[in-house]
Amino acid sequence: MSSSRKLQVVSPVPADIDIANSVEPLHIAEIAKDLNLSPLHYDLYGKYKAKVLLSAFDELKDREDGYYVVVGGITPTPLGEGKSTTTVGLCQALGAYLDKKVVTCLRQPSQGPTFGIKGGAAGGGYSQVIPMDEFNLHLTGDIHAITASNNLLAAAIDTRIFHEASQSDKALFNRLCPVNKEGKRSFSDIMFRRLTKLGISKTSPEELTPEEVKKFARLDIDPDSITWRRVMDVNDRFLRKITVGQGPEEKGMTRETGFDISVASEIMAVLALTTSLGDMRERLGKMVIGNSKAGEPITADDLGVGGALTVLMKDAIHPTLMQTLEGTPVLVHAGPFANIAHGNSSIVADKIALKLVGPGGFVVTEAGFGSDIGTEKFMNIKCRYSGLTPQCAIVVATVRALKMHGGGPDVVAGRPLDRAYVSEKVSLVEAGCVNLAKHIANTKAYGVNVVVAVNMFSTDSEAELNAVRKFSMEAGAFDAVICSHHAHGGKGAVDLGIAVEKACQNVTQPLRFLYPLEISIKDKIEAIAKSYGASGVEYSDQAEKQIEMYTQQGFSNLPICMSKTQYSFSHDASKKGAPTGFVLPIRDVRGSIGAGFIYPLVGTMSTMPGLPTRPCFYEIDIDTVTGKVRGLS
């Protein structure tokens, strides 16, 4: 690509922020020009970011798509195995070295980890998205828009309960449909959605019977059934459980609730899975916040707020254009949790990117966590809603993680690695390759070609790396490539780029889903559990109750988004390798109805992280002379 550039790398590899600050980004208009993206189809957000408008897709909708590649990984250590870095490095290789049209599609990171334990998520070393500080901080405000819309809905829920408790049916109805200047009452547009849901075809408030007035005006929300929580984009453990309504004017109407981190909001999942502005409006309106006391699902549209939520999200629907260190384009959009949500960037970004690169070009997107979670949800949820078919799936592996799966000592974030991980231990690597083999087999089952990317560390020996490559090929990979993109940028992933191109050109099977949507919720859960290696599934009484409720409410045809630990194929994070014969316990089952999936909870999942004793923010500051950010990792 013409705007791409080669990096001048140094060894040892400097800190990520130092590398990012050493490269002057190109004006984002140059990146857009490389993609033949007309200025009519993007809005500038400063010099280095732009919002790509959905009109770009509309103009190119008849153009043939490029190749579609998803990056997953083996079961990771708590340190991560470099999926984001590999995604960026591969795209730098394709664009800057192999002269291909390429777009990287990534999730927007939450500010929680940036200031907490994990640090930022822009890749690493010489394979990064820049400006790194803008990528990891506010970006173009999408997460703030999600926070605002989520909390507007939360306010609407408690306010409606409050007003219904203190008013008669008639008074409530009269306030919902006030008299206008002509002395008449009328329904607002959004109210017709509730009327239709109730089977009421009347168009004037005066026509409703007292019974219809009650059905329309009184949602009768069961406070114990409310699943909607407030959110903020900060790790704050003390907000996990709170009581609202303690002010004197709330008349003792207290309720126990809590905060989640913003990226755990269903609105984030809606943004990631939506296909158009109209589709987003429908999904936001269908979000279920709880039930009535009669057991009927209550939606955002029932509360009259679906349209307002869409207005708050109208700019967030447009992906943000950025660039890599080597000047290749990146679309950053949406960042749903990879546990309680599906952990993939947006459908609209992928669709726009596939048209922009065109035939022979490449769109590379990353799926969160190991392929048992991220790639599975990419295929069975994201590809179902998008209608897109990937040609190649990458499984990122490291010698370090394979040693752990082979019986190596525990890997703990913040502690020095055991000597086994920094000295040659080929037998440990070979023993751990059972985990890699399981990921290859599971991913191949979707009908895509699998390329293993071995993310090389300086402490890896040639014998260890060759063992991984040999085992990958024996396990059925299309190819397995040793990569050094962290240390060398795109140059270190050229062989990976060549392998990916060949894999895309040699697809022989159609996309196959793991399960059909028409089967029961339990059958779908059990199909996924079987893919993990489970011999069966065990449901708690609460899970049984929820499955029955969602089935009765008509939601049993939705895909399943399994919420489990990323550190094992099983529910037990200590079970490494490829465990079999275990019974998967389902503690609870919940629904993101607007986003469009049911999510069973396997164990306890925190949706509001906490800060450690020494958070990342100790290192973060600003150079008051240059204005550059220091200490981001």
What is the pLDDT, as a whole number, of residue 117? 76
Does 114 score more than 70 pLDDT?
Answer: yes
**CATH number of the domain that residue 206 is part of:** 3.30.1510.10
In this structure, the answer to whether residues 219 and 351 fall within a common structural domain is no
The answer to whether 431 and 578 have CB atoms below 8 angstroms apart is no
What gap in Å lies between CA 257 and CA 240, rounded to an integer?
8
- pLDDT bucket at 632, cuts 50 / 70 / 90: confident
Does 190 score more than 90 pLDDT?
Answer: yes
In this structure, the answer to whether residues 193 and 211 fall within a common structural domain is yes
Q: Do the strands 42-44 and 329-332 form a parallel or antiparallel pair, or are they unpaired?
A: unpaired
Q: Among 242, 277, 310, which residue terminates a domain?
A: 310
The answer to whether 136 and 120 have CB atoms below 8 angstroms apart is yes
Q: Among 477, 506, 535, which residue terminates a domain?
A: 506
User: Considering the domain boundaries, does residue 613 fall inside one?
Assistant: no
User: Considering the domain boundaries, does residue 492 fall inside one?
Assistant: yes
User: Considering the domain boundaries, does residue 512 fall inside one?
Assistant: no
- Which of these, 336, 349, 448, 438, lies nearest to 381 by C-alpha position? 336
Neighbouring CB atoms inside 10 A of 253's CB total 16
pLDDT, tens only, 490-536: 999 999 999 999 999 999 899 999 999 999 999 999 999 999 999 99
Residue 440 tokens, joined: 């290859």
What is the pLDDT, as a whole number, of residue 119? 66
What is the pLDDT, as a whole number, of residue 544? 98
What gap in Å lies between CA 311 and CA 142, rounded to an integer?
13
Expressed as residue numbers, the domain containing 133 is: 16-140+315-506
- The burial class, CB within 10 Å (0-12 / 13-18 / 19+), for 15 is middle
Residue 397 tokens, joined: 């592996």
**CATH number of the domain that residue 363 is part of:** 3.40.50.300
Residue 353 tokens, joined: 């990117």
What is the pLDDT, as a whole number, of residue 414? 78
Residue 446 tokens, joined: 């979707």
Does 633 score more than 80 pLDDT?
Answer: no
Residue 221 tokens, joined: 């929300």
In this structure, the answer to whether residues 335 and 483 fall within a common structural domain is yes
What gap in Å lies between CA 311 and CA 145, rounded to an integer?
10
Query: Left, alpha or beta for 551 (phi > 0: left; psi -120 to 50: alpha)?
Result: alpha
User: Considering the domain boundaries, does residue 158 fall inside one?
Assistant: yes
What gap in Å lies between CA 568 and CA 570, rounded to an integer?
5
Does 458 score more than 90 pLDDT?
Answer: yes
The answer to whether 349 and 339 have CB atoms below 8 angstroms apart is no
DSSP state, residue 619: G
- Which of these, 435, 454, 440, lies nearest to 577 by C-alpha position? 435
The answer to whether 376 and 393 have CB atoms below 8 angstroms apart is no
Q: Over range 63-82, report the average pLDDT.
A: 96
* Collapsed DSSP state (helix, strand, coil) of residue 255: strand
Does 456 score more than 90 pLDDT?
Answer: yes
E strands of 530-610, at which residues?
Answer: 536-539, 583-586, 588-592, 597-601
- Which of these, 565, 572, 530, 559, lies nearest to 445 by C-alpha position? 530
Residue written as tokens 């250590």?
A: 77
The answer to whether 31 and 327 have CB atoms below 8 angstroms apart is yes
- Partners of 476 in beta bridges: none
pLDDT, tens only, 30-40: 999 999 999 99
SS3 percent helix, strand, coil of the chain, rounded to 5, is 40, 15, 45
What gap in Å lies between CA 414 and CA 57, rounded to an integer?
44
In this structure, the answer to whether residues 497 and 471 fall within a common structural domain is yes
Q: Over range 170-199, report the average pLDDT.
A: 95
pLDDT, tens only, 325-366: 999 999 999 999 888 899 999 999 999 999 999 999 999 999
User: Considering the domain boundaries, does residue 377 fall inside one?
Assistant: yes
In this structure, the answer to whether residues 533 and 563 fall within a common structural domain is yes
Give the ranges where 218-373 is alpha helix by DSSP (H). 266-273, 277-286, 306-312, 347-357
Residue 503 tokens, joined: 């894999």
User: Considering the domain boundaries, does residue 615 fall inside one?
Assistant: no
In this structure, the answer to whether residues 162 and 105 fall within a common structural domain is no
Residue 60 tokens, joined: 């190119």
In this structure, the answer to whether residues 113 and 168 fall within a common structural domain is no
What is the pLDDT, as a whole number, of residue 11? 92
In this structure, the answer to whether residues 170 and 32 fall within a common structural domain is no
In this structure, the answer to whether residues 501 and 536 fall within a common structural domain is no
User: Considering the domain boundaries, does residue 415 fall inside one?
Assistant: yes
What gap in Å lies between CA 451 and CA 458, rounded to an integer?
22
What are the residues whose beta carbons fall under 8 Å from the beta carbon of 363, sequence distance 6 or more? 66, 67, 68, 69, 102, 103, 105, 350, 353, 354, 357
What is the pLDDT, as a whole number, of residue 506? 96
Q: Among 310, 340, 363, which residue terminates a domain?
A: 310
pLDDT, tens only, 117-176: 766 678 999 999 999 999 999 999 999 999 999 999 999 999 999 999 999 999 999 999
User: Considering the domain boundaries, does residue 423 fall inside one?
Assistant: yes
Does 630 score more than 70 pLDDT?
Answer: yes
Mean model confidence pLDDT for the chain: 95
* Collapsed DSSP state (helix, strand, coil) of residue 453: strand
What is the percent of the chain with per-residue pLDDT over 90, rounded to a whole number?
A: 91
What gap in Å lies between CA 60 and CA 54, rounded to an integer?
10
- Which of these, 385, 389, 348, lies nearest to 57 by C-alpha position? 348
**Exposure b/e, 576-595, CB count within 10 A at least 16 = b:** bbbbeebebbbbbbbbbbbb
What gap in Å lies between CA 148 and CA 440, rounded to an integer?
41
Q: Give the global pTM.
A: 0.96
Whether the CA torsion 303, 308, 313, 317 is positive or negative: it is positive
**CATH number of the domain that residue 567 is part of:** 3.10.410.10
In this structure, the answer to whether residues 291 and 332 fall within a common structural domain is no
Does 299 score more than 80 pLDDT?
Answer: yes
**Exposure b/e, 70-90, CB count within 10 A at least 16 = b:** bbbbbbbbbbbbbbbbbbbbb
In this structure, the answer to whether residues 114 and 170 fall within a common structural domain is no
The answer to whether 279 and 348 have CB atoms below 8 angstroms apart is no
In this structure, the answer to whether residues 220 and 363 fall within a common structural domain is no
Three-class DSSP labels, 330-365: EEECCCCCCCCCCCECCHHHHHHHHHHHCCCCEEEE
Q: Over range 93-106, report the average pLDDT.
A: 98
State the first-to-last Cα distance of the chain, in angstroms, to the nearest integer: 28
What is the pLDDT, as a whole number, of residue 72? 97
* Domain count along the chain: 3
